[in-house]
A and B are shown apart, each in its own frame.
Chain A
Amino acid sequence: MMAGIILACSVVLLLQFFVSYCRSLIAASSRQTLSPEVQDVTGIQRTASGEDYTRVMQLLQLCPERPEDRNSIQAVSVYFRLLNFLRSTIARMVPTMQEWTELERGHCAYFAAVALERRISFSRDMLAEQMDG
């Protein structure tokens, strides 16, 4: 009984902390404007939609990995899946939640586009180093 209560409280709090943590990761990138070439490649101008996420992630996987980004990209991927789950279950019955999940999915896609931008400039730097060497 006691373990059940602790489990329920912990899972609810875990979800709250996890969602807020992911949003804090996303918030840091939301103020960054994308370069024209990343805008061209991804098709994202100022705001992104949830549908862009998978495509941007595929582009992201084509670039060499930056170790410092790995943790945040994984956390946001889990968050995106959680949003998809909410969208296909509870959000079908609650219209405001449908809007919220779509907005959040768009933020995830924008975060992925910013990560793509960082990876592209990281690859360029690596290439420049190799050319100099």
Chain B
Amino acid sequence: MRISLLLVLLALPQDTTTADRDPVAALIDRHIEARWSELGIKPAAPAGDAIFVRRLALDVLGRLPRPDEVKSFEADKDAAKRAKLADAWLASDEAAEYFVDRWIRLLFNYHFEQADPFKVDFPGFAGWLKKAYKDDLPYDQFAAALVGSRGEKDEKPETNFLMKFLDPKEPPTELAVKTARVFLGVQIQCAQCHDHPFDKYTQEDFWGLTAFFAGIRQKTRQTFDGIKTKIMQEAPIVRMPVGDDKHVDMAPRFLDGSTPDKDEPAGKALARFLVGAKNDQFGRAAVNRFWAHFMGRGFVDPVDKFTDKAKPSHPALLSELAQEFAKGGYRTRRIARGIVLSRAYGLSSARVKDAPDDAFAFKPLKPQDPPQFLNNLVYLLALDAFFREFYNQFYENVKALPGYGNERVFRMYLFQFVSGILAPSGRAPEETPYAGSTRLALKMMNGTDLQNTVKVGWGRLAEVMKAEATPEGRVSLMFRTVLGRGPAADELARYGAYLKKKRASASAYEDIYWALLNSAEFFFNH
């Protein structure tokens, strides 16, 4: 009896036995498990500590875990270690930086034009995003600030979102499209020229939403404290094109027909309508987005296709999670914590036969996103050091531009390189980088820039060669560095044999590093 009880306790995932189970995780588990029963499927086995740490590091910190982080976590006997690690990492600076990267990509697609430094204070905006993350700024206030803030640019860095898309010659349609896409999970751009052909939005809906952003101006003036810029909004009227040469004036009108109260500023009204959108769409789109980030796909997939015809995989869970979100004051961290401590998040990614992807009976695979990829290439190949020289030439051109922080520009530059590998330009950030691009494979495996960094004397590989003296030690550390796990016996044997054949030459070690770097196991967040 005692032995079987012991075995049962050992077999259960650690945290479910503790009394203080995360309530959001419990909510998630209830619904997910219910659907498994409904479908008559058995879920995959739990994934184990090393994989959990790798996932958490990628999803929260935006990077691979370090070998010693994996080691110490595996050795930790605390039953609540997952919750502790999640709390520590969710609150960290690194998590905040990753959040900044993701939102800059989401809002700006890393798109950086020559004219931008005159309009957009990227460092200031990044600083605002970072603080919002660290303070766990309620998401409704976050959205309200982005769409509704007006005033002094240096006091309200969130207004840089507006500035990025402002063009005196063009109506602010991009802002409407972005707002709908990011905060409501809907794509309205097809309704720009005519009524949306397959969704309910009319052309007037499109231009009514655009009107909330019309008339926004940047006014610069000289003060005792130097040059100050004010973002202000004049009459929010936009000219809606009808046919090729006619126009009709549109005033702000939200997608459900709501219009601002008398004298209510357009920005404030939009924030109000957004958060109060019918069917709790704001909350649902948000939790769906968070779920998709951690789980690889949303309840509605892709996250910006919340059309009327879209059928969520777990409609009740989606609604209840959204309610939890609102009840908890729209604080994101609670939801994130619940997701990473849920049973579904901890399952193996080995496919379960006959289980549909959206049942989450196994953890869906996803490619790394550009910030993760960049952070990992920087770590593994010292890519930043490598590019510094090229960057300095590039920076010669932008150095003279106003208010530009060195490191932020450098990071944008690196992102362009990395994004160029992962996914073709012109793709919206919602479209996650995909596997299957010949160009991606070509650049990873033979790209001049990357290959020049796969050298025993360079970057992380150089550190591995120094830290370990034996072939086994070096191969082991390479595995733990690139893949987050130690090699299996057969892998050790295979690489041992290779090194022996090649007389443990430098190029042989580089070949092994290269193979791990190009492996599917590295590429995917599994």
Do A and B interact?
no
Instruction: Give A contacts to B, CB under 8 Å.
Output: none
